[in-house]
């Protein structure tokens, strides 16, 4: 019963910024066949390694399920209760490569991660590759952002603002209000 309350509470948001269409996710460059596939796979591995290198200057970190279970919440061992495992507040960006608003948010979040280095962690979860994690949080549309305070319940938001400046302001305001507030 508690598990369904926690998960349904987190999944109570209908996120619609990019919609739930996945038709665009199947767009692949088939012009060079195997070479393109290998290049794409290598690029993804390089990106993942680069994003997971800890840095005092910040930087977003790509999470896969195994990392999520160790650093954010192990919903397999405590499915009925939210237990944040991080040592500082965090934002998780649920995204997909085909999502236009996600592409706008990514460099802004990278900037935010550097500006707030040492105060918060910024993570990214590729909803195309990590479907189980997206399902755990009821992600229906992207971009979706999970703000996780050090203590207390996480807060889900979705979408971006009309401009890059307003989007950055939205992130900074939410960080200050949800993650760094001393209330």
**Each residue's pLDDT tens digit, 92-142:** 999 999 999 999 999 999 999 999 999 999 999 999 999 999 999 999 999
Over residues 164-183, the mean pLDDT reads 94
Residue 40 sits in a domain whose CATH number is: 3.40.30.10
- Flag whether 86 is in a domain: yes
- Flag whether 26 is in a domain: no
Q: 146: closest CA among 121, 167, 166, 165?
A: 121
Alpha helices in 33-137 (DSSP H): 33-51, 65-71, 100-115, 131-136
Kindly report the CA angle at 100 between 91 and 142, in degrees rounded to 5? 45
Give the pLDDT confidence score for residue 136 in this predicted structure: 95
96: helix, strand or coil: coil
Q: 89: closest CA among 153, 167, 5?
A: 153
Give the pLDDT confidence score for residue 132 in this predicted structure: 97
> What pLDDT, in 10s, does the model give residues 27-45?
333 344 444 333 334 344 3
Domain of 43, in residue numbers: 16-21+32-179
Distance CA 20, CA 36 (A): 27
- Flag whether 102 is in a domain: yes
Give the pLDDT confidence score for residue 115 in this predicted structure: 97
- Flag whether 11 is in a domain: no
Distance CA 30, CA 15 (A): 31
- Flag whether 105 is in a domain: yes
- Flag whether 1 is in a domain: no
Q: Which two tokens stand for residue 108?
A: 């802004």
Number of domains in the chain: 1
> Which residues are annotated as catalytic?
99, 102
Give the pLDDT confidence score for residue 122 in this predicted structure: 98
Sheet of 121-126, strand order: 61-62, 121-126, 90-95, 144-148, 155-158
C-alpha separations of 81 from 42, 144, 151 in Å: 37, 22, 13
pTM of the model: 0.72
- Flag whether 4 is in a domain: no
Band the pLDDT of 58: cuts 50, 70, 90. Answer: confident
Q: 171: closest CA among 155, 183, 160, 180?
A: 160
Alpha helices in 29-99 (DSSP H): 33-51, 65-71
- Flag whether 6 is in a domain: no
Q: Which two tokens stand for residue 66?
A: 């195994």
């Amino acid at each position: 019963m508690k598990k369904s309350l926690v998960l349904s509470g987190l999944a109570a948001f209908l996120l619609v910024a990019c919609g739930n269409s996945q038709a665009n996710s199947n767009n692949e460059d088939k012009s060079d066949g195997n070479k393109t596939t290998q290049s794409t796979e290598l690029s993804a591995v390089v990106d993942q390694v680069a994003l997971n290198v800890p840095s005092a200057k910040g930087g977003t970190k790509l999470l896969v399920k195994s990392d999520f279970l160790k650093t954010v919440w192990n919903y397999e061992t405590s499915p009925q209760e939210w237990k944040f495992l991080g040592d500082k507040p965090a934002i998780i960006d649920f995204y997909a490569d085909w999502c236009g608003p996600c592409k706008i948010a990514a460099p802004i979040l990278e900037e935010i991660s550097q500006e707030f280095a040492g105060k918060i962690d910024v993570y990214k979860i590729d909803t195309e590759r990590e479907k189980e994690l997206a399902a755990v949080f009821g992600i229906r549309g992207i971009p979706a952002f999970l703000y996780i305070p050090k203590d207390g319940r996480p807060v889900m938001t979705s979408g971006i603002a009309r401009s890059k400046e307003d989007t950055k302001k939205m992130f900074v305001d939410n960080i200050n209000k949800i993650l760094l507030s001393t209330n």
